[in-house]
């Protein structure tokens, strides 16, 4: 089953809508359907979550190599396999963010206690907003998992295969979701 959101509850905008009350939308305006066709019959559209992994002031981001270029995020559909009900709002979103994060850190196993401890002690999920730029695209909840700077070396140990940790200033524009990538910015300590 897929989680879908009522089309009439969201607006099409050419940027990530950060001012939106996502928790209310998840709790009040979503519903599970067997497939996309069933959702559309009732005026709903599938909802996705997109996750980037970055560090704070060392300004590193996980880059994923594909046949068609590089991306700085992983997208997943939202389904009922999370063992958390959408009525729980941000708890549901945080659980949903864990799947693409685990895929980006592909060396780690969900059952690996040391990895789970590392993530819990060194990262903070941050929901950035909703991206829904046109009717042909499904709405996407964009989030960043931010790792503290002391964890960079250990984080690098979990990134392998088609993923690597790079400097944000070295990001390439290769046809990804530009409005999403604009939010992966260089931060400086004050």
Indicate the helix (H) or strand (E) that contains 181. Answer: helix 178-181
- Rounded CA-CA distance 25/13 in Å is 16
Helix extents (H) in 34-160? 36-41, 90-104, 113-122, 152-158
Q: pLDDT by residue (tens digit) across 52-95?
A: 999 988 999 988 888 878 888 888 888 777 777 777 777 788 88
At 136-176, the pLDDT tens digits run 889 999 999 999 988 888 887 777 778 888 999 999 877 67
Output the CA torsion sign for 79, 84, 87, 90: negative
Report pLDDT for 96.
Answer: 83
Tallying the residues shown for the chain, one arrives at: 190
Evaluate whether 70 touches 181 at the Cβ level (below 8 Å): no
Residues 161-171 pLDDT 10s: 788 889 999 99
What average pLDDT does range 30-52 have in this prediction?
93
* Angstrom distances, CA of residue 109 to CA of 62, 65, 71, 80, 116: 18, 21, 22, 21, 9
Instruction: Read off the pTM.
Output: 0.86
pLDDT greater than 70 at residue 109: no
pLDDT at 17: 95
Model pLDDT, residue 108: 53
162, 61 Cβ separation under 8 angstroms: no
Q: How far apart are CA 143 and CA 139, in angstroms?
A: 13
């Amino acid at each position: 089953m897929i989680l879908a959101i009522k089309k009439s509850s969201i607006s099409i905008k050419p940027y990530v809508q950060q001012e939106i009350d996502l928790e209310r939308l998840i709790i009040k305006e979503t519903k599970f359907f067997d497939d996309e066709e069933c959702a559309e019959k009732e005026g709903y559209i599938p909802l996705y979550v997109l996750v980037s992994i970055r560090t704070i002031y060392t300004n590193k981001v996980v880059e994923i190599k594909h046949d068609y270029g590089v991306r700085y995020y992983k997208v997943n559909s939202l389904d009922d396999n999370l063992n958390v009900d959408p009525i729980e709002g941000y708890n549901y979103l945080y659980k949903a963010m864990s799947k693409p994060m685990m895929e980006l850190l592909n060396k780690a196993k969900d059952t690996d206690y040391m990895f789970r401890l590392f993530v819990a002690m060194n990262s903070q999920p941050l929901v950035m907003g909703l991206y829904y730029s046109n009717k042909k695209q499904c709405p996407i909840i964009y989030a960043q998992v931010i790792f503290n700077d002391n964890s960079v070396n250990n984080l690098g140990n979990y990134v392998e295969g088609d993923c690597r940790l790079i400097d944000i200033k070295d990001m390439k524009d290769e046809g990804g979701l530009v409005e999403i990538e604009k939010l992966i910015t260089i931060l400086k300590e004050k």
